[in-house]
Structure 1
Amino acid sequence: MNRLLVKNILFSISANGLNLLISTVLIFIVPKNIGVVEYGFWQMYLLYGSYVSFFHLGFPDGVYLRYGGKDYSSLDENVFKKINTLFLFFQLMISILLILFSLFIFDNKIIAIAFSVSVFILNIRTNNIYILQATNRVKESSIILILANIIFIFLFIILIFIGFSWERLILIDLVSKFLSLIYSFTKVENLYGSTSTKIKKEIIFFEIKENILSGGAILIAYILGLLILGVSRWLVDYQWGVEIFAQISLAISVSNIALVFINAIGIVMFPLLKTITEEKYQMIYVNSRYWLTFFLFLLSAFFFLFKPLLEFWLPQYSFGITYLYFLFPICIFESNNSLLNLTFLKALRKERFIMYLNFFTAIFSGIIAYFSAIIFNNLNMVVFSMLLGIMFRSILGEIYLSIKLETKYMVNITREVIGTLAFIFVSDFENIFLSIVIFLLVILFLFLPDIKKYKIIR
C-alpha cells in the first residue's frame, strides 16, 4: 500500500477516534439524562444543522475539486485572500439575515437562531478545512476537528455537574465549533486578509464563478443526499410527533457510528487519487470494494451483542432501538457510497452524475416514505424506506462506476444484498449467539471463496 496513504489513513483514523468516542458518549449519556422530547429537540437541531452548507453555494466544494492534489505552497495567496475574504463577508451577511428572520418567523426560535449562527461558523470552517484536505494537509485539518471535540468534551463534563438541557447542549456545540473556527484561521492565515498586489476583478470573478460552478453540483448532490433520510425523518416528526422522531433519530445515530472511521479514510483518498494516473483506479477500486464490504459485514456481527446493552442502558428508547434491524445495514451501503463511489466519482469529475443520482434517489425514497407515512400510516414502512433509499443509491452508483472503470459488479452487489437480508433475518432470533454464528457463516460463505483474487493494495 502507498506509504503516504497508510500514513494519512492512520493519522486520520486516530484523529477521528475521538469523534467516535464522542458519538458513542452522546448516544449513551445524553438520552439517559434528558427526556425523550428534549432529545428530540436536540436531534432536530442536528438535523437542521446538516443543511447549513446550502448557503455556501458549493464554493468550498469547488475549491476542493479544482485544487485537489496540489501543493499548499503552490496556491496563489493574493487570489485566495480576495475570494476567501469575500466569501467570509457573504456568509456573515447570510447568517445575520437568517437571525433576523428567526426572530419574527419561526416558532422554535432557539433552534432557528442556532441554525443561523451555524451557517457562518460551519461554512467558513468547512472552506478552511477543504483547502487543507485538498492540498493533502490531513494532519492540520484533523486537528481542527479534534480541537472542537476536546472543547465539546470539556464543556460536556461541566454539564454533567450543572445539569443537562437541550438548549445547553446546543450552546456548547456552537461554542466548540466557533473556537475551532478561530483556530482554523491560523492554519490558512496567509489566504485571508488584504492583498499585497492588486488583482483584476475579472480574475476574482472567474475564480468565484468556477468554484461555485464546479462545487454547485456536489452541493446540490449533498443536499439531495441528506433528503434521502431527511424527508423520512421529517415525516416521522409530522405524523407521529417529536417523541417518536427522537426514538428513530437515536437508532439512526447508532447506525452512523462506524461512518466516522470510513469518512476518515475517504478524506485522504481523494487528494491521493488526484496524484496518480486513472489507469490505476480500477485496481484500487476493485480491491478496496471487496475488503471494505467484507470488513463492514464482519463488524456488523458485533451489533447483536451491542443491541441488548443499548436496550438495558436506555429502556425508554427500546421502541426506537428495535428499528436498528432495518437501520444498521444502512451503514454498509452508506460506507461504500461515501468512501468508494463518491471519492472515485469526484476524482473522475463526475459530480453531475452524483447530483442526478441523489436527485432520483431522493424522489424514489421520498415517494415511498410519503405513501408509507401519510397514506398507510405505517412507521415500519417509513423506516424500511430509509434502507431502500440508501441501498438504491449505493447500488446504482456502484454499477455506474464499475462500468466506467470496466470492472464486474454483479457478484459484489449480490454479496451486499444477501448479506443484508441475512442480517435482517437472523435479527429475529431470540438466541444472540445463534444469530452471530449463522450470520458469520453466511458472510464467510459469500466472501472466502474469492479472497485470493483480492490483495491488499501496494
Structure 2
Amino acid sequence: MNYRSILSNFSVALGAQGLSTLVGLLTSLIVPKLLGIDEFGYWQLFIFYTTYLALFTLGLNDGVYLTEGGKRRSETCKKQLASQFWVECSYQCVFAALIVAVALSGAFGEDRSFVLLMTALYLLLNNASNFFGYLFQAMNESKLYSVSTMINCTAFLAPLLVMLAVGDSDFRHYIFFYTIARFASLGFSVWKGRDFLQAGVVDVQTALSLCWSSMKAGSKLLLSTTAGTLILGVARFMVDANWGIEEFSIVSLAVSITSFVMTLVSQASMVLFPALRQADRDEAVGFYVAARNGLDVLLPLTYILYAPLVTVLTWWLPQYEASFALFALLMPLCVFNSKMGVVGNTFLWVLRKEGKLLAINVVTLCVSALFSVVGTFCFHSIEIIFGGAVAAVIGRCVYTERFIENEFGVCERGSIGGAIAVTICFVIASIVLPLWMAWALMVAVCSVYGLLNLRRLKHVLGFLRS
C-alpha cells in the first residue's frame, strides 16, 4: 500500500475540507447574525434537503465507486461509464420535474416553495458532479475531487463575502449563489472527465443493464449512508414538523457546528478506501489497529474545546443560546461518528460488507426514530430526541468495532470503553456544573485518560513513521 500517496491525497483533501470548513463557519456563525431566525431556518432547510439528494441516484454513483475502486483510469471502460452517466442524467431530470410539480402545487408557502424549486435544480448539478467525484476517488485520483470541492467553496465564498459585507438579509440570495457554486464544480469535473464523455456510448439496452448492475452494487451502500445521515435527520424532521421553523433554526445551528468535524473525517474514509482495496490483508489489519488506537486516544480530547467554543458563540450569537445548551449533547457525535467514518465505514467497505453496514445503520436509525417519537409525543423534549440519537450512534460504533475485529482476527481490544467513560463524564459535568467548572474537570479527566493511553499513541506514531 502506497502510504505516501495516501498522505498526499489526504493533505489535498485536508486543504479542501479546510476551505469547506471556513465557508461552513461563515454560514453558521456570520449568516445567522444577519438573517432573522426564520430566514436562517429556511437557509438551513435548503441545506438539510440537499443532504439527501444522493437518494435520487438510486445507488448508481455508489455502485461505480465500489466496482471501479482500485482501478487506474487506463483500466476503466470509459464508454460504459459514460453511458451510465447519461442514463443517470436522464432520470435525474424526471425526479427534478416531480419536485418542481410539488413546489408549484400550492401546498406550501412561498418561502418553502422557493426552497423546493432550488432543491430541484441543485439535484441535477449535485448528482452529476458526484458521479465524477466518486469515479475520481475510486481511481485513486482523490486530488481531482478535492480540487472540485475547493472550486465549489471558492465560487460560493466570493459572493458570500460580498453579501456579508453589504449586510444582505435575504436567504434566497444565499441559496442562489450556493447553487451556482455547484455548477462551477460540475464544470471542472466534466472537463477533467472529458475523456470518458468523448469515448462514446454503448447501446441503450447495454447501458440500462450496466446501470442496473451498478445500482445493485451501490444501493446497499447508498441506503446505509442515507440511514446514517437520517439518524440525526429524523430528529430534525420531527423538530421541523412539531416545533416549527424557528426551533428548527436553533437546532440546526448546533447540528451544523458538530458536522464540521464529521465532514472532515468522512473525507478521510473516501481517500483511504481505494488504497486499502489494493493492500494485502496484513497491511489492512495493521492500518485498522493504528487508526482505531489513534482515534480512541485523540478524539475524546476534543471535549476540552467545548467551554471556550460555547463562550465565544454565546457572545457572538446570544439569540441562539438555547442551541448551545443542546451542543453539549451533540459533542459526542464528533467522537463516535468520526470514528465510525474512518474505522467503521472504510473497513466494512474494504471487506465488502455493505449489507452488514446497511443492517447496522438501519437498526441505529430505528433506535433513533424510537427516541424521536417518544421524545416528541410523550415528553415533548428536544433533549430526549437528540440524546437518544447520540446513544444510538455510540452503540453503533461499539458493535461495528467488535465486528471488524472479529473479521480481522484482532485479539487486542481498543479503548472505546475509556472513550465512553470520558463521554459520560463530559455530558454529566456539562449538565450539572457551571460551564468553566465543568471545563476544569474535563481537563483533568482528559489528562488522566491521555496518560493512561500514552503507550497506544506511541505505537500509532511509530506505525506512521515506519
Q: Please classify the TM superposition score into its range, dividing by the shorter chain length.
A: over 0.9
User: In the alignment, which residue of structure 2 is the partner of 1:308?
Assistant: 311
Is it true that 1:47 corresponds to 2:48 in the alignment?
yes
User: In the alignment, which residue of structure 2 is the partner of 1:11?
Assistant: 12
For 1:155 and 1:311, the matched residues in 2 are separated by 27
User: In the alignment, which residue of structure 2 is the partner of 1:326?
Assistant: 329
Q: Secondary structure at the match of 1:256?
A: helix
Selected match of 1:189 from 174, 186, 194:
194
Please list the CA deviations of residues 212-267 of structure 1 after superposition, one character each: whole Å capped at 9, or x if unmatched: 01100011112212221111111112222211111111111111122233123222
Q: Given the superposition, is the C-alpha separation of residues 312 and 92 from structure 1 closer, same or farther in structure 2, using an over 3 Å criterion? A: same
Does the 8 A contact of 2:306 with 2:328 survive in 1?
no
For 1:105 and 1:285, the matched residues in 2 are separated by 52
Q: Given the superposition, is the C-alpha separation of residues 103 and 353 from structure 1 closer, same or farther in structure 2, using an over 3 Å criterion? A: same
For 2:121 and 2:393, the matched residues in 1 are separated by 30
Does the 8 A contact of 1:239 with 1:374 survive in 2?
no
Is it true that 1:378 corresponds to 2:392 in the alignment?
no
Aligned length: 455
Q: Given the superposition, is the C-alpha separation of residues 308 and 211 from structure 1 closer, same or farther in structure 2, using an over 3 Å criterion? A: same
Is it true that 1:120 corresponds to 2:124 in the alignment?
yes
Is it true that 1:147 corresponds to 2:151 in the alignment?
yes
Shift of 1:411: 4.8
Q: Which moved more, 1:321-330 or 1:444-453?
A: 444-453
For 1:293 and 1:23, the matched residues in 2 are separated by 26
User: In the alignment, which residue of structure 2 is the partner of 1:213?
Assistant: 216
Does the 8 A contact of 1:82 with 1:193 survive in 2?
no
Selected match of 1:111 from 106, 109, 115:
115
Q: Which moved more, 1:22-31 or 1:444-453?
A: 444-453
For 1:409 and 1:52, the matched residues in 2 are separated by 40
User: In the alignment, which residue of structure 1 is the partner of 2:232?
Assistant: 229
Shift of 1:171: 0.8
Shift of 1:97: 3.1
For 2:414 and 2:298, the matched residues in 1 are separated by 17
For 2:435 and 2:242, the matched residues in 1 are separated by 34
Q: Which moved more, 1:8-17 or 1:84-93?
A: 84-93
For 1:316 and 1:350, the matched residues in 2 are separated by 45
What is the identity, as a one-letter code, of the residue corresponding to 1:267? Answer: M
Shift of 1:98: 2.4
User: In the alignment, which residue of structure 1 is the partner of 2:36?
Assistant: 35
Give the TM-score normalised by the residue count of structure 1. Answer: 0.94
For 1:130 and 1:66, the matched residues in 2 are separated by 11
Q: Given the superposition, is the C-alpha separation of residues 194 and 6 from structure 1 closer, same or farther in structure 2, using an over 3 Å criterion? A: closer
Instruction: Report matched runs for 1:5-404 at 5 Å.
Output: 5-104=6-105, 106-107=107-108, 108-160=112-164, 161=166, 163-193=168-198, 195=200, 199=202, 203-404=206-407
What is the identity, as a one-letter code, of the residue corresponding to 1:187? Answer: K
Does the 8 A contact of 1:398 with 1:409 survive in 2?
no
Which sections of structure 2, spanning at least 5 residues, go unmatched? none
Large movers: runs of 4+ above 6 Å? none
Q: Which moved more, 1:112-121 or 1:162-171?
A: 162-171
For 2:177 and 2:417, the matched residues in 1 are separated by 45
For 1:199 and 1:311, the matched residues in 2 are separated by 58
Shift of 1:164: 2.2
What is the identity, as a one-letter code, of the residue corresponding to 1:119? Answer: L
Q: Secondary structure at the match of 1:259?
A: helix
Q: Percent identity?
A: 23
Selected match of 2:433 from 429, 434, 438:
429
Shift of 1:443: 2.7
Q: Given the superposition, is the C-alpha separation of residues 380 and 80 from structure 1 closer, same or farther in structure 2, using an over 3 Å criterion? A: closer
For 1:120 and 1:202, the matched residues in 2 are separated by 23
Q: Secondary structure at the match of 1:390?
A: helix
Does the 8 A contact of 2:129 with 2:186 survive in 1?
yes
Q: Which moved more, 1:343-352 or 1:109-118?
A: 109-118
Q: Given the superposition, is the C-alpha separation of residues 105 and 64 from structure 1 closer, same or farther in structure 2, using an over 3 Å criterion? A: farther
For 2:286 and 2:232, the matched residues in 1 are separated by 32
Q: Given the superposition, is the C-alpha separation of residues 97 and 379 from structure 1 closer, same or farther in structure 2, using an over 3 Å criterion? A: closer
Which sections of structure 1, spanning at least 5 residues, go unmatched? none
Q: Secondary structure at the match of 2:352?
A: coil
Shift of 1:448: 3.0
Q: Secondary structure at the match of 1:143?
A: helix
Q: Secondary structure at the match of 1:104?
A: coil
Q: Secondary structure at the match of 1:301?
A: helix
Shift of 1:36: 0.9
Q: Secondary structure at the match of 1:302?
A: helix
Shift of 1:37: 1.3
